[in-house]
């Protein structure tokens, strides 16, 4: 069976977890944070709903800065300040895509992107540059001086002595190798292999720890910059002085008309100077700032750093940060797709599929979506929203779908038995040692996993067993009260 996640990159399909990993999520772990959560809800087959669902698709789709950037130009130069202080100056120019390139897919305009750059991204970028710069400054300074004849003589003598030592080492090595060949070759090979494996494991663990630390730092920085779409546009309303009646929220109900948040007319010199001054004052590393006052298609920031002997790649830092920074997002949802399917009545209908889960957000669009047929593969979310009976049906369907991919048919009675056992207590519990803790039979608990822990707990608590479960009966040699052991036969002696 498949042991990974299917990713349909570049195609209009959802990423799904299949095979053993998905069965493990459902049965063994009962995880509340699954790898590929999704929602699926049909769209009403009306002209009004079909028109509005396209806007809803844009509102639910997450937008990263790298998706709306055309290119980033980085120019490096040097400058001399007061008291002969030397600085490294970077000019970072961000060129955005034309609005027509993403108008149909993204719920953003150039003015929104430029506002995000000025209020959020530059602060994140400066903090990342500061961390990189501090890390580079920790390297030890190297002292240099002109070589003399004495240094050359000393280096020649050291090379000769090193050559003599290497010759002695080679002779000793040949002797050791000859002696080793006479011994047990298998034992030496095994020891050598174990030593190599230990070295590889040790190095790989260090590399993994370093990578995890760097990833955590990057995620912390990027999480600070990721914002929800509603809050992002609310900030714009407060700055522009818009009233509550003027709708500029991308996540607002679709029945309200959408109005532009910012005017495309050229701004006055006073407003331009105010925005430039605000960017300069947001961080001490920023020296200057310029932007496109007419079309909002580019911006340029000048960064001034102290000159050091150790330098880092500014281009790679800016590009990686831009690709991971979220400009606009609906909480819990990363992508949204519209697919055409055939329903049970053999009629074509449009279905809205989302990567990620946010059920309360979809409840706002009851006039567009058929919420009575909403489905999600997150069992915990379905149990919390619709009750444990709905979660039970989701468990059956998800297990059936996993086996159906490989052409394996499972009896529905088996699936219902498994789902009932996982949900009969009113909560969704896994089939592991944590889920069996609530079982009333200590002997049945011991037959599953961690026998000593359950034995110790039963002994300390003075628990008793009624010997009703099949596992408990088998432990003590009692006939199981099930199947042919459920009844007795009486044979007449005549």
Residue 117 domain-assigned (yes or no): yes
Q: Are residues 116 and 239 in the same domain?
A: yes
3-state SS assignment for residue 39: strand
In a domain, 129, yes or no: yes
So what's the pLDDT on residue 232? 47
Whole-number pLDDT of residue 165? 57
The listed range with the strongest mean pLDDT (119-128, 211-220, 482-491) is: 119-128
Q: Is the pLDDT of residue 171 over 70?
A: no
What are the φ and ψ backbone dihedral angles of 291, each rounded to 5 degrees? -155, 165
**Beta strands, E only, 259-360:** 286-291, 298-306, 326-328, 333-342, 348-356
CB contact at 8 A, 95 and 71: yes
- Cα–Cα dist 378/109, whole Å: 33
Contacts of 98 (CB under 8 A, 6+ apart): 297
Asked if residue 444 and residue 311 are part of one domain, the reply reads no
Among 10-24, 97-111, 148-162, 363-377, the range scoring the smallest mean pLDDT is 148-162
Looking at residue 131, which CATH number applies to its domain? 3.30.70.2850
- pLDDT at site 93: 93
Q: Which residues contact 351 (CB under 8 A, 6 or more apart)?
A: 40, 41, 42, 43, 338, 339, 340, 341
Contact 326, 225 (CB under 8 A): yes
All residues at 6 or more sequence positions from 369 whose CB lies less than 8 Å from its CB, including other chains:
41, 42, 43, 44, 49, 53, 352, 362
71 DSSP β-pair partners: 95
Please indicate, yes or no, whether residues 312 and 450 belong to a single structural domain of this protein: no
If DSSP codes are grouped into helix, strand and coil, which group holds residue 252? coil
Residues 248, 237: contact at Cβ < 8 Å? Answer: yes
Work out the percent of the chain whose per-residue pLDDT is above 70. 70
What is the average pLDDT value for the chain, to the nearest integer? 77
Residue 177's pLDDT is 45
448 is a domain residue: yes
- Mean pLDDT for 39-56 is 90
Does residue 120 belong to any structural domain of this protein? yes
What per-residue confidence (pLDDT) applies to 239? 44
Q: What is the DSSP letter of 369?
A: B
- Say if residue 16's pLDDT is above 50: yes
Confidence of residue 188 (pLDDT cuts 50, 70, 90): low
Query: Does residue 10 form part of some domain?
Result: no
Is 352 within a domain? no
Q: Which of these three, 299, 328, 357, is where a domain ends?
A: 328
Q: How many domains does the chain have?
A: 2
Q: Which pairs from 360-363 meet CB under 8 Å and 24+ separation? A: 361/60, 361/251, 361/330, 361/331, 361/332, 361/333, 362/39, 362/41
Which of 328, 363, 380 delimits the end of a domain? 328
> What pLDDT is attached to residue 5?
46
Nearest-5° Cα angle at 241, 236 to 244: 85
Percent of the chain with pLDDT over 90: 30
Query: CA–CA separation, 238 vs 330, rounded Å?
Result: 20
User: pLDDT at position 193, please?
Assistant: 54
The token pair at 162 is: 């090193």
Q: Are 340 and 349 in contact (CB under 8 A)?
A: yes
Nearest to 354 by CA among 381, 316, 315, 319: 381
Kindly state whether residue 384 falls inside one of the protein's structural domains: no
At residue 470, the pLDDT reads 87
Give pLDDT tens digits for 235-279. Answer: 444 444 433 333 333 333 333 334 444 444 556 788 889 999 999
Query: Which two tokens mark 341?
Result: 């399917």
Query: How much is the average pLDDT of 173-184?
Result: 44
Residue matched to tokens 């929800």: 228
Give residue-wise pLDDT tens across range 117-164: 999 999 999 999 888 877 776 664 545 566 676 766 666 666 555 555
The answer to the question of residue 194 being in a domain is no
Whether pLDDT at 485 is above 50: yes
Most confident listed range (77-91, 184-198, 199-213, 405-419):
405-419
Burial 3-17 (b: 16+ CB within 10 A, else e): eeeeeeeeeeebebb
CATH of the domain at 464: 1.10.150.390
Q: For residue range 367-417, list pLDDT tens digits in order.
A: 999 999 999 999 999 999 999 999 999 999 999 999 998 888 889 999 999
Collapse the DSSP code of 216 into the 3-class scheme (helix H, G, I; strand E, B; otherwise coil) and give the result: helix
Residues 111 and 249 reside in one and the same domain:
yes
266: which residues sit within 8 A by CB, 6+ positions away? Answer: 293, 294
Of 209-223, 297-311, 345-359, 450-464, least confident by mean pLDDT is 209-223
CA-nearest of 131, 17, 57 to 368 is: 57
Highest mean pLDDT of the ranges 67-71, 76-80, 248-252, 306-310 = 67-71
| Of 261, 294, 328, the domain-final residue | 328
The domain in which residue 268 lies consists of 63-137+219-328
């Amino acid at each position: 069976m498949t042991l990974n996640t299917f990713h349909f990159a570049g195609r209009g399909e959802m990423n799904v977890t299949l095979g053993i990993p998905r069965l493990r999520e459902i049965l063994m772990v009962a995880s509340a944070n699954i790898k590929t959560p999704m929602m699926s809800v049909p769209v009403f087959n009306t002209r009004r709903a079909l028109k509005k669902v396209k806007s809803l698709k844009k509102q639910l789709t997450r937008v990263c800065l790298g998706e709306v950037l055309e290119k980033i130009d980085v120019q490096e130069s040097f400058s001399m300040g007061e008291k002969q202080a030397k600085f490294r100056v970077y000019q970072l120019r961000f060129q955005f895509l034309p609005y027509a390139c993403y108008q149909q897919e993204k719920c953003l305009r150039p003015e929104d992107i430029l506002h995000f750059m000025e209020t959020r991204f530059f602060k994140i970028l400066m903090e990342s540059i500061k961390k990189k710069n501090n890390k580079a400054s920790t390297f030890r300074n190297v002292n240099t001086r002109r070589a003399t004849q004495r240094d050359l003589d000393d280096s020649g003598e050291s090379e000769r002595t090193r050559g003599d030592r290497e010759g002695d080492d080679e002779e000793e090595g040949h002797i050791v190798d000859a002696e080793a060949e006479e011994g047990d070759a298998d034992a030496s090979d095994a020891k050598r292999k174990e030593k190599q494996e230990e070295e590889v494991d040790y190095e790989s663990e260090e590399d993994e720890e370093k990578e995890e630390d760097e990833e955590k730092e990057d995620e912390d920085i990027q999480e600070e910059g990721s914002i929800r779409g509603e809050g992002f546009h609310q900030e714009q309303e407060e700055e522009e002085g818009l009233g509550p009646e003027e709708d500029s929220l991308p996540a607002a109900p679709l029945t309200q008309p959408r109005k532009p948040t910012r005017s495309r007319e050229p701004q006055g010199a006073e407003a331009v100077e105010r925005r430039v001054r605000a960017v300069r004052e947001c961080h001490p590393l920023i020296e200057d700032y310029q932007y496109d006052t007419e079309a909002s298609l580019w911006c340029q920031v000048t960064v001034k750093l102290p000159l050091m002997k150790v330098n880092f790649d500014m281009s790679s830092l800016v590009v990686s940060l831009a690709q991971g920074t979220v400009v606009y997002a609906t909480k819990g949802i990363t992508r949204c797709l519209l697919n055409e399917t055939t329903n049970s009545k053999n009629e074509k209908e449009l279905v809205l599929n989302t990567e990620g889960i946010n059920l309360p957000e979809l409840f706002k669009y009851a006039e567009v979506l058929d919420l009575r047929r909403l489905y999600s593969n997150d069992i915990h979310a379905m149990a919390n929203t619709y009750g444990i009976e709905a979660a039970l049906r989701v468990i059956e369907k998800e297990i059936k779908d996993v086996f159906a991919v490989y052409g394996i048919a499972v009896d529905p009675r088996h699936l219902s038995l498994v789902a009932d056992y996982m949900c009969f207590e009113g909560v969704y519990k896994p089939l592991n040692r944590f889920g069996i803790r609530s079982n009333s039979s200590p002997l049945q608990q011991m037959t599953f996993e961690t026998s000593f822990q359950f034995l110790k707990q039963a002994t300390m608590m003075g628990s008793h067993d009624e010997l009703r479960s099949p596992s408990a009966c088998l432990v003590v040699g009692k006939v199981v009260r099930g199947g042919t052991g459920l009844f007795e036969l009486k044979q007449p002696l005549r």
